[in-house]
Structures are given as structure tokens and as C-alpha cells.
Chain A
Amino acid sequence: MALHISSAPPISAFHHLLCFFFHDTYPEMEYASSLQRQLASMKKNLFDQGYLDEQFYQLEELQDESSPNFVEEVVTLFFRDSSRLVANIDQALQKYPQDFRRLDNFMHQLKGSASSIGAAKMKNECTSFREFCNKENREGCLRSFQKVKKEHAVLKQKLENYFQLLRQDGPVDKATRSGN
């Protein structure tokens, strides 16, 4: 395996040179493993900090060749629906007198979806909100809803970052093709 390196080549050209000479082996594995370490660390933090639970793993288990982006698709569906529900709840909280049954119905839907993607912190905040709702405690609902919105926003950002990085990872053989 001859390797000719001229003095101080640009990093990208050097990388391509390495890819060319070490086609199926070491360098792209080094690059891939660094990205994968970052992904693994990100995911571990999401679990350790309680943002995600076991259900997220269940979704990953369902991902396969026939639906290689299943988890991201489901999470995208979640944030599409949850954003709508959060807006509905916001609006409903402005009304007076409060329709607690309607509020609870919205929150039941939000909690259900959160549970289905393993969004643990969100699910817990939704539960708190419903407890205030059941007691018809408007102030409690308002305070609790701020927490729901906060967890929603934080989770959205974290998962967007995670999937952005995951997309960079891609199938291993992509890294060896020039012009990709």
C-alpha cells in the first residue's frame, strides 16, 4: 500500500487520498467511529438526563431496511402533532371560564404521543398538568403548562441535533465514494 503524501496537503484532499488507498478499511472507520462516539454520547445523555426512556429503544428496534428512517419519521410526526396541541392548549387556557375537560382531552393526546416516542420528561409534565386539571386548578395548570412547553422546546432542539448528526453518519460505504 504505497502512500504518497506531498507537503502539507489540504485536509479534505488528504482524507480523500486515504479513502482511496484504504478503501474498505481503517480511515473511514476512524472517521465513522468518531461520529458514532459523538452520537452514542448524545444518546446516552438524553437517557441519563431523563429526556428519553425505554420506548425510544423500542422504536429503534423497529427500524430496519424497509424503513431506515423510521425513528426520525415518527419523531417528526410527534413534533408536528405536539406543536398543534401545545397551540390548542395555549389558546384554551386564555378562555374564561376554563373548559377543564377540553384541556384535559388535549393533554391526554399530548401525553399519549409523548409516551409513544419515549419522551419521558414531557410525559411527566403532562401528567402533572392533568392532575391540576382534574382539581380544576387554573393557576396550577398555567404553571404546569409552562413546564410542558419548556420540555417540549428543549426536547425538540436536542432531537433535531441528534438526527442532524445521525444523518451525517449514514451508511459506511457513502464515505468512500467521491462526489457524494
Chain B
Amino acid sequence: MSSPRGGDKEGGRDGERQIHVLAVDDSSVDRAVIAKLLRSSKYRVTAVDSAKKALELLGTEPNVNMIITDYSMPEMTGYELLKRVKESPTLREIPVVIMSSENDPDKINRCLEEGAEDFLLKPVRPSDVSRLCGRMRS
């Protein structure tokens, strides 16, 4: 999984700056797994447990190249987070990927129509993360 040192052709490095992914999931298990998957591809990862915290971070940290969020979260869902990001002039260019354990076509279509970059079924696999490689915000 790990790229060789000094030779990161895939994933993590975009020129000199490391690609920063914001992972959002209220499940500590899923947060640990997605963070590890992303770090194995040499991305810098910030993992938070709510959409509210994600928005707080996005307000202060400009350099986020991708948001990957669970759909079903209490208080604010991943779908609602997606909408907030796409409605924001400063954040709308950040690609948002939705994760869900449920293969619900209506849910998937709704997210894609709202501008989601991709929709991943959980449990997320390394091949899913590889697929995202070329779609980070530069």
C-alpha cells in the first residue's frame, strides 16, 4: 500500500505540498479505518467526528484538497455538509466524497446531483481510495 519514500507518484504529493484530506465520520472505528487508508496513500489526514467540526475546520484551514464524509451522522448528515460546502463560494471547489454502508440508489443520486464527487460503499477499500487519486483539488 505505501508508496516508496521519495518516490510518491500516486496519492500524497502534489508538487511540494502534501495533499490534505478532511475525513468526517461519527463512528470512531470508521474514522480510524478511513484515516489509515488515506495515510497509506501518503495523504495528510484530519479526521473529525461531526459535520459541524468539519465546517469549523474548513473556516480556519484553507488547504483542504478533498472532503470525505459519512452520509449518516447525527445533527448534520454528510448530505447536508455536502450542500453547505457547495453553497459556499470559498469551499465549493473542494471535491466532496460521500461514504455510506447502505446501497440506496435514491440517496446516491441525490448526492451526485448535489455535486458529490463520488459515492463509496462501506467498508471502503484501498481500490476506492486509489480511484480518488486524480480528483483532489489542486
| Residue ranges of A at the interface with B (Cβ–Cβ < 8 Å) | 55, 58-59, 61-62, 64, 66-67, 70, 73-74, 77-78, 80-81, 108-109, 111-113, 115-118
Contact = CB atoms under 8 A, between A and B. Distances in A.
Q: Give the interface size bracket for B toward A.
A: 10 to 19
A112 B27 contact: yes
Interface in B58-82: 72
B37 interface: yes
Contacts of A61: 1, 126
B122 interface: yes
- Which DSSP category, helix, strand, loop or mixed, fits chain A's interface? helix
Interface of B: 1-2, 27-30, 32-33, 36-37, 39-40, 72, 101, 122-123, 125-126
B101 A81 contact: no
A98 B101 CA distance: 25
A77 B28 contact: yes
Given A64-B40, A66-B39, A116-B123, 8 more contacts: A58-B125, A62-B40, A81-B28, A109-B27, A112-B27, A116-B29, A116-B30, A118-B123
A62 B29 contact: no
B23 to A, nearest CB: 14
B9 to A, nearest CB: 19
A59 B2 CA distance: 14
A62 B30 contact: no
Nearest 6 CB-CB pairings of A with B: A113-B29, A112-B101, A77-B28, A62-B36, A116-B29, A78-B29
Contacts of B27: 81, 109, 112-113, 116
28 contacts: A55-B123, A58-B126, A59-B33, A61-B1, A62-B36, A62-B37, A62-B40, A62-B126, A64-B2, A64-B40, A67-B36, A70-B36, A73-B32, A74-B29, A74-B33, A77-B28, A77-B29, A78-B29, A81-B28, A81-B29, A108-B72, A108-B101, A112-B27, A112-B122, A113-B29, A115-B122, A116-B27, A117-B29
Nearest to A111: B101
B127 to A, nearest CB: 10
A2 B39 CA distance: 50
Nearest to B2: A64
A74 B26 CA distance: 15
